[in-house]
Structures are given as structure tokens and as C-alpha cells.
């Protein structure tokens, strides 16, 4: 194994990340809304020794519009709740990390803390969390608690300068902090289970967190004892400075979306500079992963042809926020190792079509990386923090009075 092991994750979403993926001959659209489908994807990722999978979620139906429904019926619409999906498949896996998305804008931090802590117990220490901001008026309409302006192309083009967006990310930062405090609100040895004295819990080792923010206040403690990992890893997708700052302050992993070598190096440098200014020393180093959408084939021509056929079916060339890679597993391995040399520690790959491109990752890319001594040949840890090389932190409240 090379001195700096490469981390590898896969982002799971529906039939795959291409909007027409469900119509690919290799897809399984009839299985999308079954537990077996998601369990099979997680099992395949575990077969490939990947660090973790993420599961997408949202409070709105998928759409091609920035905000609002597009009325299309030729693309996948509808999805399972990500946290519940992760909890369902956790007992069917043993090593792969499970990182569901849960939004911060319309979800109470107390509920997120409890659900992710529960997932950590169900998975015996393999849970993580991907907080996501919800800036769309369509999603706010489901709750009726706040007025949200429509997300227009003009706003999307200048997110860092928009006060509403800044406020949403500020709220997300508060939510991450509150959730982390709730995970610490039980000390590790708070549960006694002393039958002789009749004491199940040491109440002095449960703590009020007394968090006060602009949008909410949380007293605590949590209803769920401290998670097995202490602090399940927090991961955040970031495209520009405001989300970079969110990740730098509160996350363990930042997903970034460079499109070429120069941008990969520049983005990694920028995020590290922000982390050096904004990150608390006790938080430890921030890991930076790059997102790539992948279409893999035995030849580059085959991979490009697969994407081209899906583009033709969909009626438009697929152009996501992340770079698209079309090629062989060997070519992808070379790109990942080159980008690792530019300051990226890992990669979150988005399979263009599921399960085909996931299988190409686990049975094509992984052996290529192993042959180059750049990826594990077996799991050496049992927790997600262990896979990522993160130590288990002590509760911030340990030893303090109630």
C-alpha cells in the first residue's frame, strides 16, 4: 500500500446519475422502489472494499428546472427516504460506510441527531451524514414555515453574494454544530444497567447542550445515547466559497467538483486555506474528495457511446455540476491518482447507470488501483471513522457537571 491510501466512495441515486439511466438496457427500473435493490448496491460497494456510499435525498421531486416541477414523465421521479433506506440495508452489510443525505433547512437538528445516531447503532459504527441546504421555494411550500424566494438562474450564478443563500448556509452550520453537541450530550459510560441498585443510567453524565442560534435553540440532551463512533463523520458537497466555509468549519469531508487538473489543484488549495482560517484545531484535518460522474467501458469508445445513446434518448447532452469521465477503468485510475497528487485525498464517484457502472468501479477500477498499490486489499477497520483514518473523539462534555 502506498504511503497515502486513496479513499473511494460511491454516490447512489435512483437508476444512476444520467437522467435517462433507467432506460439503459443494463438498468433495473422495476426494482428501484425495493429494499433489495438498495441492499444489492450497498453489497456490491462493500465487495469492492469502498469506504462508503452516499444516498441522495430531497424534499422535492427530481426536476430539470432550478425550482419547481417540470412536468416530465420520461425521467425517474420519486425516491425513498435516505436515512430510512440506510437503516434498512445496514444489517445486510458489515463494513461499508452508509452516509445518507438529510437536509438542514426544514429538518430539526434534534431529529437528525437522533436518526443518524440510531443508524450508527444499527450499522455498528458505520453511519455518516451529508447535510444539504434546501434553497428552493418548491420545497419550502411543503412546510409553510418560511417565505423563500424562487431560485432563479441569476441567484444560482451568484450564490456567494446572495443574502438568502448565506443565511441558509449559516443555518446549516448551526445545525451541524447542534447535532454534534447532541451526539456528545451522553458520555460514553452514561448507561450503567446496575440491576442491584436499580440504576439504568447515570443522570449526571447526560448534559444539556443549550445551543442558541438565529433559527433555533436546542437544550438537549439527545434521546439516543452517544453513537458507537462518538461522532459519525459529516460530509458536505461544496461548489464555491460559502459552502467551502461550511465544510471547513463543520465537516470531516468536503466534496468538490473541479473539471480539470488546474482546477483540481486550485480548489484543493483554496479549501485548505479556508480550513486553516475557519476550522477549530480539535476538529482535525478536513479531507477533500472530488466528485466525478463516471461511464465506464472496456474501451473509451464504448464508454462514450453509452453516454451518447443516453443523451439521445433524453433529448439533451447531460451536463451535471461535476466533471463527466468516460473511459476505461484503467484510464480512470490514472486520472484519480493524478488528482491525488494535486491535493485530493479521495473521490466520490457517481455511476452514470446503476448497477452497471458501480460494478465497473468495484470489479474494474478497484483492481486497477490495487495493482498500482493505491487501494486496500481488505478492510482493516470496522467503522467508517476507521476507514477514513479518523480517531474516535471524546465527548466534549466528559467530566463536566450536569
Q: How far apart are CA 399 and CA 205, in angstroms?
A: 8
Q: Domains of the chain: which residue ranges? A: 7-132+231-387
Helix (H) or strand (E) holding 329: helix 329-340
Fold of 7-132+231-387: TIM Barrel (3.20.20)
Number of residues in the chain: 402
pLDDT tens digits in sequence order for the chain, 402 residues long: 555 689 999 999 999 999 999 999 999 999 999 999 999 999 999 999 999 999 999 999 999 988 889 999 999 999 999 999 999 999 999 999 999 999 999 999 999 999 999 999 999 999 999 999 998 888 888 888 888 888 777 777 777 888 888 999 999 999 999 999 999 999 999 999 999 999 999 999 999 999 999 999 999 999 999 999 999 999 999 999 999 999 999 999 999 999 999 999 999 999 999 999 999 988 889 999 999 999 999 999 999 999 999 999 999 999 999 999 999 999 999 999 999 999 999 999 999 999 999 999 999 999 999 999 999 999 999 999 999 999 999 999 998 755
C-alpha cell at 215: 433559527
Cα distance between residue 237 and residue 129, in whole Å: 11
Distance of CA 54 to CAs 148, 253, 299, 340, Å?
28, 12, 28, 21
How high is the pLDDT of residue 144?
82
Q: How far is CA 85 from the centre of its chain?
A: 14
Could you tell me if 244 and 166 are in contact, meaning their C-beta atoms sit under 8 angstroms apart? no
C-alpha to C-alpha distance for 122 and 126, rounded to whole angstroms: 9
CA distance 65 to 150: 11
Which is nearest to 232 in space by CA: 201, 203, 253?
253
Strands 346-351 and 7-12: parallel
Nine cell digits for residue 271: 479549501
Spatial distance between the Cα atoms of 369 and 8, rounded to a whole number of angstroms? 10
Amino acid at each position: 500500500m502506498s504511503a497515502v491510501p486513496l479513499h473511494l466512495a460511491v454516490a447512489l441515486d435512483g437508476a444512476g446519475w444520467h437522467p435517462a439511466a433507467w432506460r439503459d438496457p443494463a438498468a433495473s427500473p422495476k426494482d428501484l422502489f425495493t429494499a433489495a435493490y438498495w441492499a444489492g448496491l450497498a453489497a456490491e460497494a462493500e465487495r469492492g472494499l469502498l469506504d462508503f456510499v452516499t444516498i441522495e435525498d430531497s424534499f422535492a421531486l427530481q426536476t430539470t428546472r432550478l425550482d419547481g416541477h417540470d412536468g416530465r414523465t420520461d425521467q425517474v421521479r420519486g425516491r425513498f427516504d435516505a436515512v430510512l433506506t440506510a437503516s434498512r440495508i445496514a444489517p445486510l452489510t458489515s463494513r461499508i460506510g452508509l452516509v445518507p443525505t438529510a437536509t438542514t433547512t426544514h429538518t430539526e437538528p434534534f431529529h437528525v441527531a437522533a436518526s443518524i445516531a440510531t443508524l450508527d447503532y444499527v450499522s455498528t459504527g458505520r453511519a455518516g451524514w451529508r447535510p444539504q441546504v434546501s434553497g428552493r421555494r418548491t420545497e419550502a411550500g411543503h412546510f409553510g414555515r418560511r417565505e423563500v424566494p424562487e431560485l432563479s438562474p441569476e441567484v444560482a450564478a451568484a450564490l456567494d453574494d446572495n443574502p438568502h443563500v448565506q443565511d441558509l448556509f449559516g443555518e446549516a452550520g448551526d445545525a451541524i454544530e447542534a447535532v454534534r453537541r447532541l451526539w456528545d450530550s451522553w458520555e460514553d459510560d452514561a448507561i450503567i444497567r446496575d440491576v442491584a441498585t436499580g440504576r439504568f443510567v447515570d443522570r449526571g453524565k447526560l448534559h444539556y447542550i443549550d445551543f442558541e442560534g438565529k433559527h433555533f435553540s436546542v437544550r438537549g440532551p439527545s434521546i439516543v445515547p452517544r453513537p458507537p463512533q462518538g461522532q459519525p463523520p459529516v460530509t458536505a458537497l461544496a461548489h464555491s466559497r460559502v459552502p467551502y466555509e461550511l465544510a471547513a468549519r463543520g465537516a470531516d469531508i468536503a466534496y468538490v467538483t473541479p473539471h480539470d487538473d488546474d482546477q483540481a489543484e486550485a480548489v484543493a488549495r483554496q479549501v485548505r486555506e479556508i480550513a486553516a482560517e475557519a476550522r477549530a484545531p480539535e476538529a482535525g484535518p478536513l479531507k477533500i474528495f472530488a466528485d466525478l460522474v463516471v461511464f465506464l467501458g472496456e474501451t473509451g469508445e464504448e464508454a462514450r457511446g453509452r453516454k451518447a445513446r443516453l443523451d439521445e434518448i433524453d433529448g439533451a447532452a447531460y451536463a451535471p455540476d461535476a466533471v463527466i469521465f468516460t473511459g476505461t477503468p484503467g484510464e480512470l485510475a490514472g486520472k484519480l491518482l493524478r488528482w491525488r497528487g494535486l491535493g485530493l485525498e479521495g473521490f466520490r464517484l457517481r455511476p452514470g447507470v446503476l448497477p452497471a457502472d458501480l460494478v465497473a468501479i468495484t470489479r474494474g477500477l478497484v483492481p486497477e488501483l490495487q495493482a498500482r498499490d493505491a487501494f486496500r486489499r481488505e478492510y482493516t477497520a470496522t467503522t467508517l471513522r476507521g476507514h477514513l483514518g479518523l480517531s474516535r473523539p471524546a465527548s466534549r462534555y466528559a467530566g463536566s457537571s450536569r
